[in-house]
Amino acid sequence: MKSISQIITAILISSFTLASCQRSEQQNNLNQDELIPVQLMSLQEDESSTQIIASGVFTTEDETILSFKNGGIIQSITVKEGDRVKKGQVLASLNMGEIDASVQQASLALEKAERDYQRIRQLYTDSVATKEQLENMKTARDVAVQQNRVAQFNKNYSQIRATDNGYVLRKFVNAGQTVGPGTPVIQLNGAGSSAWKLKVGVSDEQWAVLAVGDKAVIESDLSSEGLRASVVRKSEGVDPTSGTFTVVLEVDDGHADQIASGAFARAVITPSANIQGWNVPYSAVLDGNKGEGYVFVSNDKETVKRVQVKIGSINKDQITIVGGLESYEYLVISGSAYLKDGSAIQEQTTEQ
């Protein structure tokens, strides 16, 4: 028969064991609650042909600012901004009063110099005038000839004519204004003889993988359908204002009526070369900015680390990362919004 002390000892041991089990279960539940459920993706670097999305503005690269050779009062301007013009079309004219007077004066001076020369030549034949007098008069006649040519030249350039087919981009002055030589009057683009081009900015990784001849599709609010284009030039230096490399695309289609100089457009370029990197879902990348972003990675599937990555291209359904994931095995593709550096995680499958 057990003594009372033995019974009391057994009761205490049972109570302690039960309390320990309860604390252990509570601790396990607490640790379980601290784990953040995430979905992971195995990281494997490979080569892929991805599309590069970039934006820019349309241009013809031969925009011209036209002006009068000589100053004067503008008589008329026959075009307005946005008008289509043809090569040789008169766009603006100066008041011809002063110019016609200059031409007439030069013409009269030439006639007098010619008469004087003929007279002194006859006198020289009759041995009345000297050879020096003849040569001086001939020089005066030649000077008058050149002055007459200058006056005629200036008259011809008292009008501004379109240098090529294109559009009026800007009109700087109006009729009745007085302008000096070289004062900007009208700005044109050469859309008639030069194909439309789109200048876009790309990162250094994108610049390296692109090549002249790579195909692209340009999407713009001005066009109802995508415009086919190709890469025709790559810049050799970084644009100091944007920090990106410039790539020039030339539009293959003749949709001049659907394009305007300076209009914004978006280009989807397909490189002929493959990009070395990791293709990841959009949900995996956080705080993307200027070719960089942040992701959460893991090597043990128990904790995560927040790392900075370099973005190579942004595609329709995924992002290509070209740097920053070299030392990691797994990438968090779902649940990143609840994580911080060092967070404990619990992997969940898509079925869950």
Domain with residue 340: its CATH number is 2.40.420.20
Query: What is the spatial order of strands in the sheet that 184-189 belongs to?
Result: 64-67, 184-189, 166-171, 84-85
Task: Judge if 341 and 287 occupy the same domain.
Answer: yes
pLDDT-derived band at 225 (thresholds 50, 70, 90) equals: confident
pLDDT-derived band at 222 (thresholds 50, 70, 90) equals: confident
Task: Judge if 312 and 219 occupy the same domain.
Answer: no
Task: Judge if 296 and 319 occupy the same domain.
Answer: yes
pLDDT digits (tens, 9 = 90+) for 113-168: 999 999 999 988 888 889 898 899 999 999 999 999 999 988 888 889 888 887 88
Torsion of CA 240, 244, 247, 248, to 10 degrees: -50
Task: Judge if 253 and 233 occupy the same domain.
Answer: yes
pLDDT-derived band at 29 (thresholds 50, 70, 90) equals: very low
Task: Judge if 200 and 170 occupy the same domain.
Answer: no
Residue 1 lies in a domain: no
Mean of the per-residue pLDDT values for the chain?
A: 81
Residue 312 lies in a domain: yes
Residue 226 lies in a domain: yes
CB-CB neighbours of 238 under 10 Å: 14
What is the total count of domains within the chain? 4
Residue 115: which domain range? 97-157
Residue 68 lies in a domain: yes
Res. 339: pLDDT tops 80: yes
Residue 87 lies in a domain: yes
Task: Judge if 313 and 262 occupy the same domain.
Answer: no
Which residues does 142 contact at the CB level (< 8 Å), separation at least 6? none
Res. 26: pLDDT tops 70: no
Q: Residue 238's pLDDT is what? A: 83
Q: Residue 107's pLDDT is what? A: 92
pLDDT digits (tens, 9 = 90+) for 206-216: 888 888 989 99
Task: Judge if 89 and 143 occupy the same domain.
Answer: no
Task: Judge if 245 and 322 occupy the same domain.
Answer: no
Task: Judge if 229 and 84 occupy the same domain.
Answer: no
Which region among 16-30, 32-46, 233-247, 257-271 has the lowest average model confidence (pLDDT)? 16-30
Query: Which of 167, 191, 215 corresponds to the end of one domain?
Result: 191
Residue 21 lies in a domain: no
Contact predicate 307/323, CB 8 Å: no
Task: Judge if 153 and 166 occupy the same domain.
Answer: no
Query: Which of 213, 243, 270 corresponds to the end of one domain?
Result: 270
- pTM here is 0.50
Task: Judge if 203 and 266 occupy the same domain.
Answer: yes
**172, containing H or E segment:** none
Give the bridge partners for 263, in sequence order: none
pLDDT digits (tens, 9 = 90+) for 305-338: 999 888 877 766 778 888 888 889 999 988 888 8
